[in-house]
Structure 1
Amino acid sequence: MLSSLISGGITGGAVALFSAPIEFIKVQRQLEGSKLQKNTLEWGKFIFKNHGLFGFYKGLPLHFLRDVFGTGCYFTIYETFKYASMQFLQPGPMVHLVGGGVAGALSWIVLFPIDLCKSVMQREALKPHPQYQSVFEFIKLRYSNEGIYGFYRGISPQLVRSFPVHGINFIVLEFFPMILQFILLGAALADSPDCSNISELKGQIEAYDEIISEENTILSNFITTKQEEIEPIETPEKMNAVHTILQCDKKYVADLYFYGDYIKQNTTRAFELYKELSDAGEKEGHYMVGMCYATGMGTVRDYSKAQVYLSFAALLGEKRAFQTLGYHNHAGIGMPKSCLNALFHYQQIADEAIEEWRSGPPFGKKLPPLPMKLDELQGGIYGKGASGMGNPELNMKESKLDELDLIMLYRLQAEAGDAVSQFLLAQFYYFGSAKVPVNYKKALEYFQQAAKQYPTSTKADKSEDAKHLKEVSIAASRSCGFLGQMYWRGEGVEPDIERARKWFERGVSQDNAASHYGLALMYMDGVGIPKDFARALRLLNEASTMGSNEARVLLAEQLLGNTFVDFTKVVSLLEYAAKGGYAPAYYHLSKLLGSGYPGTSPNCKNALIYAKLFVERTNWHDSTLEKADLAFKRSKFSAALAYYSIAAEQGSEIAQVNAALILDTKIAPKHPPLMYSFEKWNPYDFAIVLYHRAANQGHVDARVRVGDLYYYGFGTNGTLDDELTFKGPRLSHVIAKQIHKDIPMAPDFAQAVLHYSAAAEGEFSHSSIAMFNLGYMYEHGMGVEKDYHLAKRWYDLCLTTNPGSYLPVQIASVKLHIKWVISDLFSLWRNLFREKAKSPQSQIPGEELIEEPSNAWGNENSLIFSLVAVFLGLVWYRRLLMGMFNQRVNPPAALQ
């Protein structure tokens, strides 16, 4: 209402300045007639000749007051009526007609006295002897003679005129743009291309026109591979199809240019197309323009503009914009951190996601596949046994075989009749993975084979046999739960409720938790059997006790529906389910913690963590990560990087690490100018930001890698100044500078130490690599004061955390001890020299000018390397002498 009043007033003021001269002449002609002048032109000449240009603006204050106040009231009344009528009237012409009429009539009731005063004072303005010296004199005289009625004389015709006139005015105002748009759209449709074959053209573009290597070629060792990127081939037929589709589906063509899946990547062109969509008011256009500004792809990175476009997209209902804004508020990207704002944005998506999950088949809608973690293909960023905590004992249970090798092994054992292998193989096919696509028919076949092998007795003479029987019984009973679920949902087979119930009953007899849960659902909803709520609750409690996360959440939901809720039990059930990774538990915990429940205050921090987890696990609204994984498997690294970069801005830790690894391992775009708006391409500028964001979400290897980048100075926006070099070893930096000749280096050892410390002293994990690096930094005094004691402590902690680091730690420790001894010897020598210099008996003339001897070797490292070189030289010389001696003692046979 206030905005309408202000904007209307400003509009009225602007109109008054332009309309005042014409209004002044109109008043003269209406009130004076043709006494002085015959027509409008002569009146204009008369006023200008006798009063100049400012003569046209006589009476302007009252005219200005009338238009400012009147127009503001006019639009305010109309907007208020329109808003109020929404409660009981459907939007349409009648609302605009009545609203405009009411606004016109009411505004004239308020303005009529002002308009009268204005007209009278303008009439008197040109008289040599005006009747009224001021407007106040006129008001006083009129009121004393006629009372308040005198100011409203003649208002009835004005009101009769204003109602229809202003009503029609607003009908035209509201509907003319729509009519005009309809006319223009009809003209455009007459000349528009035929869009009936768009699906066929899209199929032609997406068809592979190059030989694609095996999908898994680079998956086992992508970090060190020399795999070439497969670039799309642009044929005239393909580009003609693109131009045709552009007229019908601009969003599709913009995506083609942005991601570069099927045509050569050109994010600048994509940004132009997205901007056109945004200008047309489409939410997808707003969203992608915002993401271009956020990622720096297609335009210069500008988070302030990104927030504007993303906010407009969110207002139009774009779920991806809500997710991105939620993460930006959470991490403080381009705006101050705000837990409440972040939680609000995530819960907008979460509320819809939980309903979508419930609308699915029994057991809920199947969750999207987990995204591929590129770092885990190598066992972590730093390799298996080194990444994370780096303790080999933690990975003893993990197989050293590749996923495909495991499947081959399980298949051989399954064909031999091993129930455990049959069950594990069935799970591979049921859930799928980065290398194994989902195959319900094969999963059903192997589950059936495993379920038939439930042992009649679990007793055995030997402990090994008893253990094997127990494993077989678990595999068989769990297979029953999967089979009941598959027959009920119709996965790999036609839905069959009766067979599903039988499998659940069989699983219940074998103490399977999932079967208890499935049968409880049937009793609760009366599916295939009569409803029995009491029995359903009993089965749910048993399933919960056995470890069913689904049963725990359903029990919690039932408890929340009671009149008196035991929130302690509810939260306990949900927390157990959340620890098991069951997504709906995240949603309920987010709701409870966000609003608080009796006895507790709202916990926004934990509520936000659960909301973010739920949204990212139920991301049916966005297939970006799936497309990214597919592009990477097909060796389309530029496309994969674009997809991962978009998902990284949405807050996906996996996408952040994946995008950073592609940049960090030189599987970077071949044509960066077509992707990023920078003259000088430096992949580390983006990699360090992505690693840092992933580290802030708890990725310990990413934290260590950020420390490495600060140590070498990559992505720190500076250059390495040889004149202002640091104290300590320079070999690693010299080598790095030779390898990355075109990339500026600006080491920041203080920042490196901070990140290594955070990784080494983490709350939940302790990186052995970070510990070793801290030992090295303390040993050489890089970013910290040199301290051999702390260096030794960190080396020892590294070995304790990761016994696999025995060799490098021992070498570093030996080197440290040698330096320690040398340092102590030099210290002792310097102390003795000082004592001698201070002795009065040994004082000789000029001795006070003798400087304290410095370390002629430069530092301990140089001394150690020199001693090692001398030692190796002596060994070589001794071997040479021994060889010459042997030749003399035992000459060759030919010389004897």
Structure 2
Amino acid sequence: MLLSTYLNWASVLLTIAGAESDIDPWDEVSSFLQGKLRKLDVTNPNAYDMNDNEQDATFYVSMDYHEEEERSEYESVWQYYNENSDQDWHKSVYDKLLVSADQFNNTEAMYKLSQINLWGQYGYPHNKSVAFQYLQKFNDMTSYENSSALFDLAVAYSTGLFGTLPVDVARGLLYFQRSARLGDLKAKQVLAYRYFSGYSVARDVDKALLLYKEIAEEIKKKYSEEQWNMVFPYIESYIVRIPDFDEGLLGKGLSTVPQSVRRKKTTRPPFAGSSNLKPIGDVGYGEVVMQFKFNAGNGNPGSFVISDSEHEDRLVELFYTAWDLYKGTYTRGRDCDKAKRLLLQVYKTYDAEVKYMDNLQKFFYVKSLDLLAHMYFTGEGFERPNVQAALDLFDRSEKILEGAEISRTASEVDKGLISQYYFNNTLGALKHYKKAKESGNAHGILFYQLGKLSEKNPELKIGDPYLYMQEASSQQYLPAQYEFAKMVESNELRKYSVEDITRLYKAFVEENENIMAPHLRLGFSELLGGSSEVSLYAYAQAAEQGYEAAQISAAYLLYQLPYKFDDPPETTIERKTMAISYYTRAFKQGNTDAAVVAGDIYFQMKNYTKALSLYQSAALKFSAQALWNIGYMYEHGLGVEKDFHLAKRFYDQILEHNQKLYFAVKASVMKLQLKSWFMWLNGKELDNISIDQEQESTVVRPFFDRLVQLLKNLSRETRGDNKKKNQHRILKEKKTPSQGIMERFGLQTEDLLTMVCVLIIFAISMFFRTVAPRGQWNVRINGVNIAGGNALGEEGNPENENEEDDENDDEGRARARNNFGFGNNFDVQVFAI
């Protein structure tokens, strides 16, 4: 490879240059890099000023992949560093790392070079081949005793780094096992997932359970007793499928998998003011203080106005802004400090104006106080928790809402926790928990605490601790997931299988992504920053660990299905194969849409047998799109014998699962029926007709696809496009002497018949609607009168109709018969097929 040759040549020059010195430059380089930013996290709120109005993630993912473009981009970055004096340190540091690694065999320099090229650290360009070179060298020099480097090497062999080297799943598994023996939790998770799913190993649920349980116990040790029992840390989740930001894999209305996007910017109620808040003072991001003033018009101290008339509900917006800062979104991480400062300023500014507020403003002011009290209680945004300040704010909120029946579940839970853990008042805590439970919007932590209390105090008869813990676990409260798994495992009376218990531990392990998969956040950040290849590697790591969302994201970055009438993406067969692998693994974890997409990729590759197999598997999971695809394959004989009866059966089954597709299904069935009639009229056999997988057939591509492709080719001929690929396509079509006009447009005889029938029906309809009023005909379609007056006569009376018939003279009727040859009463029946 040209790039590898260039680097080897550069390494030789650096070795010669460094031969004059006997000092390893590693210490100098290491000290210098400590002062540099390793990686810019664009989701970090302090990274740079972001637009508050941006609600969703916005990123660009190229559908095509060319190694030449990757090489050109890599060289352009280095050229930029060489031509700009302020970037001289990049080349100097990299040269010294090469000298340290190649001349002095410094393993730390080797590992640093592998990470720099693998993750694009310190602004260096990403290069998978160079990263693998130094990663392999590092492991050789360290006798394969570094668990982290072994994990990276295992991922490299398992994925082939997407075409950089041959995929060797067995070798990757060997390195995963060695890394796991050295204590790497991520490697253990990979093995647990593979034993549980049976991927590349014999399925062994017992081994999977042991591994997941071992990992879960290690995770639990990383939390303090206070965190585990009272206030579990908030985790900013990045377990999200990338295509879900664009309505899922199959699009709106067709996906059968729930959306994974959760942490969007909070949707404001319709009465809320604008979110374009301008900074005031030192508060910063989107924080505005609205000023209440007495209405000078009537002098009534009980009424007030807001200084900015355009934002009458600014207090509502202030709360939601603070809430977004507190919880964070995908594009902007948590910023508890700014949330705290905003809430404190709201409290100081408006507390004296409560008596002038209306009910809506009081409600959101109290929500702001409750959030601030919660932050005092947990210590988020403060140096340490302040329980007394939290209680004071809770009391203030209750006083403001005195007499109002408003649910405050979160505040009641917080007060219950304070009573239980700070004052050891179990009865007081139960009182608050009961109020929270009665609100109907109880949180997982509430049931978790009730479960612990009922187990510790059976004499209070609080309830079944097992059921409480089960409910808390179902709400994905992490400590409850672990505790419930332990309870199920130790209770032989409960009918839970080993596989069910394994799933509970697996869910707990995966939800602790801050420990097990911090690279999910890094991958998303890199995608936002435009480094899709670095993002792909991050998602591939998580995909190997068994994260279904990461498997979808990695597959999506590797290969995206083209839009209608677009050409298929240009990429390598290795990336396409890896995408199919990840989609298939995601399907085995319950993502039905993934099987449909994997089948579509096989379909594009004209491997109809495998495509049909995946469609059938997805159809068993009630996928409407899969059922339609199977019907289409039977209709056209793709990989199966052509069978219109089976095709209609699959089309009809779609309506059993998705009634919204009624018209699309009926249109498909109508076309199928017309084709069946035509083939019957021509004496053709309907069944036992199949198309070979290698055969290029016009049936494979619908008429509109071929029409668009024809227009593209004509435009290329007009422009004089000299691209070899386009010329090859044009020449290939010109070499076919038997192509007539119909073949050139991709038309079949039955397609023409279908269009003719539709036109005839349309013409008949227009004829009746135009001519019937002139001839005073009574025309009914499916019993509904469309011409000649009311079907029931005037005023809906049947007798009026008879009277009108009697008034028609014989001369008019004879004239109608003489002119048209039939009477003037028509009852047309149109049947839906």
- Among candidates 427, 438, 444, match of residue 534 of structure 1: 427
Q: What is the identity, as a one-letter code, of the residue corresponding to 1:233?
A: V
The normalised TM-score by structure 2 is 0.61
Corresponding residue number in structure 2 for 1:848: none
Q: What is the identity, as a one-letter code, of the residue corresponding to 1:484?
A: A
- Among candidates 253, 268, 271, match of residue 132 of structure 2: 268
Corresponding residue number in structure 2 for 1:436: 332
Distance 1:499 1:249 in 2: 51
- Within a 5 Å distance, the mapping from 1:654-693 to structure 2 comes to 654-665=549-560, 681-693=573-585
Matched, 1:305 2:165: no
Preserved contact between residue 56 and residue 330 of structure 2 (Cα < 8 Å): no
Helix, strand or coil for the counterpart of 2:676?
helix
Cα offsets for 1:126-176 (capped at 9, x unmatched): xxxxxxxxxxxxxxxxxxxxxxxxxxxxxxxxxxxxxxxxxxxxxxxxxxx
Distance apart, 1:606 and its partner CA: 1.7
Distance apart, 1:276 and its partner CA: 3.2
Distance apart, 1:633 and its partner CA: 0.9
Distance 1:580 1:550 in 2: 9
Distance apart, 1:225 and its partner CA: 7.8
- Within a 5 Å distance, the mapping from 1:193-342 to structure 2 comes to 193=25, 195=27, 198-201=30-33, 203-204=35-36, 206=38, 219-220=57-58, 222=60, 233-234=77-78, 235=81, 237-245=89-97, 247=106, 248-261=108-121, 262-265=124-127, 266=129, 267-276=131-140, 278-279=142-143, 281-297=145-161, 299-342=165-208
Preserved contact between residue 159 and residue 167 of structure 2 (Cα < 8 Å): yes
Corresponding residue number in structure 2 for 1:756: 615
Distance apart, 1:752 and its partner CA: 2.5
Distance 1:304 1:652 in 2: 21
Distance 1:278 1:456 in 2: 68
Matched, 1:497 2:387: yes
Preserved contact between residue 111 and residue 134 of structure 2 (Cα < 8 Å): no
Cα offsets for 1:57-99 (capped at 9, x unmatched): xxxxxxxxxxxxxxxxxxxxxxxxxxxxxxxxxxxxxxxxxxx
Matched, 1:487 2:383: no
Distance 1:344 1:697 in 2: 20
Matched, 1:572 2:463: no
Preserved contact between residue 590 and residue 606 of structure 1 (Cα < 8 Å): no
- Among candidates 619, 630, 635, match of residue 513 of structure 2: 619
Distance apart, 1:336 and its partner CA: 0.8
Corresponding residue number in structure 2 for 1:863: 749
Corresponding residue number in structure 1 for 2:601: 709
Distance 1:682 1:410 in 2: 46
Aligned residues: 595
Corresponding residue number in structure 2 for 1:645: 540
Residues 201 and 800 (structure 1), Cα distance of their counterparts in 2 relative to 1, 3 Å cut: same
Cα offsets for 1:552-606 (capped at 9, x unmatched): 112223344468999992332223223323222221222223x241413552212
Cα offsets for 1:422-463 (capped at 9, x unmatched): 444433222212223323245346667999799999xxxxxx
Helix, strand or coil for the counterpart of 1:438?
coil
Preserved contact between residue 574 and residue 585 of structure 1 (Cα < 8 Å): yes
Preserved contact between residue 283 and residue 313 of structure 1 (Cα < 8 Å): yes
Q: What is the identity, as a one-letter code, of the residue corresponding to 2:241?
A: K
Preserved contact between residue 215 and residue 509 of structure 2 (Cα < 8 Å): yes
- Within a 5 Å distance, the mapping from 1:408-557 to structure 2 comes to 409-410=274-275, 415-417=311-313, 421-444=317-340, 479-495=368-384, 496-505=386-395, 511-526=407-422, 530-546=423-439, 547-557=442-452
- Among candidates 651, 663, 675, match of residue 819 of structure 1: 675
Distance 2:433 2:636 in 1: 62
Helix, strand or coil for the counterpart of 1:635?
coil
Preserved contact between residue 450 and residue 462 of structure 2 (Cα < 8 Å): no
Corresponding residue number in structure 2 for 1:599: 493
Distance 2:110 2:646 in 1: 61
Preserved contact between residue 327 and residue 342 of structure 1 (Cα < 8 Å): yes
Residues 350 and 803 (structure 1), Cα distance of their counterparts in 2 relative to 1, 3 Å cut: same
Q: What is the identity, as a one-letter code, of the residue corresponding to 1:756?
A: Y
Distance 1:320 1:311 in 2: 11
Distance 1:382 1:405 in 2: 30
Q: What is the identity, as a one-letter code, of the residue corresponding to 1:536?
A: A
Question: Larger Rg: 1 or 2?
Answer: 1
Distance 2:414 2:758 in 1: 74
Preserved contact between residue 322 and residue 345 of structure 1 (Cα < 8 Å): yes
Helix, strand or coil for the counterpart of 1:195?
helix
Distance apart, 1:310 and its partner CA: 1.9
Q: Which consecutive residues of structure 1, in runs of 5 or more, have no partner in the other structure?
A: 1-189, 458-467, 668-678, 714-745, 831-856, 876-896
Query: 569-578 vs 786-795, which deviates more?
Result: 786-795
More helix by share: 1
Q: What is the identity, as a one-letter code, of the residue corresponding to 1:864?
A: E
Preserved contact between residue 411 and residue 421 of structure 1 (Cα < 8 Å): no
Distance 2:430 2:265 in 1: 43
Preserved contact between residue 223 and residue 378 of structure 1 (Cα < 8 Å): no
Q: What is the identity, as a one-letter code, of the residue corresponding to 1:708?
A: D
Preserved contact between residue 286 and residue 312 of structure 1 (Cα < 8 Å): yes
Q: Which consecutive residues of structure 2, in runs of 5 or more, have no partner in the other structure?
A: 1-21, 41-47, 83-88, 278-285, 289-310, 563-570, 687-741, 762-833
Q: What is the identity, as a one-letter code, of the residue corresponding to 2:580?
A: I
Distance 1:567 1:524 in 2: 15
Helix, strand or coil for the counterpart of 1:279?
coil
Distance 1:380 1:580 in 2: 24
Cα offsets for 1:375-419 (capped at 9, x unmatched): 1111112333333379xxx99x99999989999954579953266
Distance 2:524 2:626 in 1: 30
- Among candidates 220, 244, 260, match of residue 376 of structure 1: 244
Preserved contact between residue 552 and residue 573 of structure 1 (Cα < 8 Å): yes
Q: What is the identity, as a one-letter code, of the residue corresponding to 2:151?
A: Y
Distance 1:562 1:327 in 2: 38
Preserved contact between residue 196 and residue 205 of structure 2 (Cα < 8 Å): yes
Corresponding residue number in structure 2 for 1:170: none
Preserved contact between residue 191 and residue 208 of structure 2 (Cα < 8 Å): yes
Distance 2:199 2:242 in 1: 25
Distance 2:132 2:534 in 1: 15
Distance apart, 1:648 and its partner CA: 0.7
Corresponding residue number in structure 1 for 2:807: none
